[in-house]
C-alpha cells in the first residue's frame, strides 16, 4: 500500500513540477517572442529547427506541429548539420536552435556557421546567459528550476516547456495567418479528423442506389424495394417524384404488430411523413450528428428539392466518421 501511495505521490509531483514550470514561462513571453512571430510571418523562408539529444526529439515534434498548421518547417540534427546538412538552409530561413544549456560543444560549433549563412537565429534555450542566448537574434526562454526527475538529471520538465514553447509559437503563427479548420483539413486529408472537416455527403453516398416507391405502392412492392437496395429503408414519392415520406424496417415491424389488413396497405399508409433530411453539400459529420441526435441509422439525401438517395450509418463507419 505504501508503494502504491509513493507511486501516486511521485506522479502528482511530476505534474506539479511541470505545471509550475509552464506557468513560470509566462513572464518571459515578451518583446522577443512577439518580434520573432512577426518576423517569421513576414518572411518568405522556412523555419529550420535543430537540436541534439532529447532537444532533437522535441525539435521534430515542433516541426510536425508547424507544418500541420501552415508554417513550412524542417528538422536538421545539430550533429548532422556540421557534416553536410547545413546545405539545406537558405539565407531567408529562420533557424530555431533548441537547447537546455545553450553551451554544448555541438551548439558552439554550429552557431557561427549558421550566422555566416545569414539566417536569423532563434535560441530556444534554458540558460539566458549561455553562448546560444547571447548569439541569437531572438531568445525564447525555456528555463526551469529543476527537472521532475528526482535526481534532476533526466530531461523531463525541460522538454515539456520546450514543447509548450513550440506550441505557443505555432498557435500564434496560425492565429495570425487566419488558419481555419478547413485549412487544417487540407494538410490532413487522409486522417479521420481531416475527413470530418472536408468530406461531404455527396462524397459518401451512392447516387445510383436510390430506394424509392410510389405512395400508392403495395406492401409487397415496398418490401421488395427495401430488400433489393439493402439500405433498410425506402423513400416514398408522389407522381412527380416529390418526397412524401420514408418507410424503414422498423415501420414494417410496427405495422405487423398493429394487425393491419396486409392486402390493402399502401405505402402512404405506413410511411413516416417529414423524414429527417440532409443535403448533398452538407458535411458528412453533420449526418453523423443528426443520426446520433435522433437515434436513427439513415437519412434521406436531397439536392435542393430533388431526392438523390440515402446516407446510412454504415457509409459513415466506412470512412471513420463514426
Q: Please state whether beta strands 298-303 and 306-312 pair in parallel, antiparallel, or not at all (unpaired).
A: antiparallel
Q: Which of 286, 67, 304 is nearest to 183 (CA)?
A: 67
28 known member of a binding site:
no
Q: Which of 320, 284, 312, 322 is nearest to 206 (CA)?
A: 312
Question: Which residues lie closer than 8 Å to 80 by C-beta, 6 or more apart?
Answer: none
Q: At what angle do helices 157-177 and 2-25 cross, to 10 degrees?
A: 40
* CA end-to-end distance (rounded Å), the chain: 42
CB distance 91 to 118 below 8 Å: yes
CB distance 310 to 204 below 8 Å: no
H or E element, residue 112? helix 105-117
CB distance 123 to 138 below 8 Å: yes
Q: Which parts are annotated binding residues?
A: 77
Query: Which residues fall in the annotated binding site for Zn(2+)?
Result: 77
Amino acid at each position: 500500500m505504501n508503494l502504491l501511495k509513493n507511486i501516486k505521490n511521485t506522479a502528482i509531483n511530476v505534474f506539479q513540477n511541470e505545471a509550475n514550470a509552464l506557468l513560470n514561462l509566462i513572464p518571459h513571453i515578451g518583446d522577443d517572442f512577439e518580434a520573432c512571430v512577426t518576423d517569421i510571418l513576414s518572411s518568405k523562408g522556412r523555419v529550420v529547427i535543430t537540436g541534439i539529444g532529447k532537444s532533437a526529439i522535441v525539435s521534430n515534434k515542433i516541426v510536425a506541429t508547424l507544418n500541420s498548421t501552415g508554417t513550412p518547417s524542417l528538422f536538421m540534427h545539430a550533429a548532422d548539420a556540421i557534416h553536410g546538412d547545413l546545405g539545406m538552409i537558405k539565407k531567408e530561413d529562420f533557424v530555431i536552435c533548441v537547447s537546455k544549456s545553450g553551451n554544448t560543444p555541438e551548439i558552439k560549433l554550429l552557431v557561427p556557421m549558421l550566422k555566416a549563412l545569414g539566417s536569423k537565429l532563434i535560441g530556444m534555450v534554458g540558460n539566458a546567459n549561455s553562448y546560444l542566448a547571447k548569439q541569437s537574434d531572438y531568445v525564447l526562454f525555456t528555463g526551469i528550476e529543476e527537472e521532475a526527475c528526482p535526481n534532476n538529471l533526466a530531461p523531463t520538465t525541460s522538454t515539456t516547456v520546450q514543447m509548450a514553447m513550440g506550441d505557443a509559437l505555432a498557435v500564434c503563427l496560425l492565429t495570425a495567418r487566419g488558419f481555419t479548420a478547413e485549412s487544417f483539413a487540407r494538410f490532413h486529408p487522409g486522417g479521420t479528423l481531416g475527413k470530418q472537416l472536408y468530406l461531404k455527403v455527396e462524397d459518401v453516398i451512392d447516387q445510383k442506389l436510390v430506394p424509392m416507391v410510389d405512395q400508392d405502392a403495395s406492401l409487397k412492392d415496398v418490401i421488395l424495394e427495401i430488400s433489393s437496395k439493402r439500405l433498410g429503408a425506402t423513400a416514398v414519392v408522389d407522381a412527380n417524384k416529390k418526397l412524401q415520406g420514408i418507410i424503414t424496417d422498423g415501420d414494417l415491424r410496427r405495422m405487423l404488430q398493429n394487425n393491419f389488413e396486409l392486402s390493402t396497405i399502401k405505402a402512404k399508409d405506413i410511411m413516416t411523413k417529414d423524414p429527417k433530411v440532409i443535403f448533398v453539400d452538407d458535411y458528412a459529420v453533420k449526418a453523423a450528428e443528426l443520426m446520433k441526435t435522433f437515434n436513427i441509422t439513415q437519412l434521406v439525401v436531397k439536392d435542393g428539392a430533388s431526392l438523390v438517395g440515402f446516407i446510412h450509418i454504415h457509409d459513415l463507419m466506412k470512412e471513420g466518421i463514426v
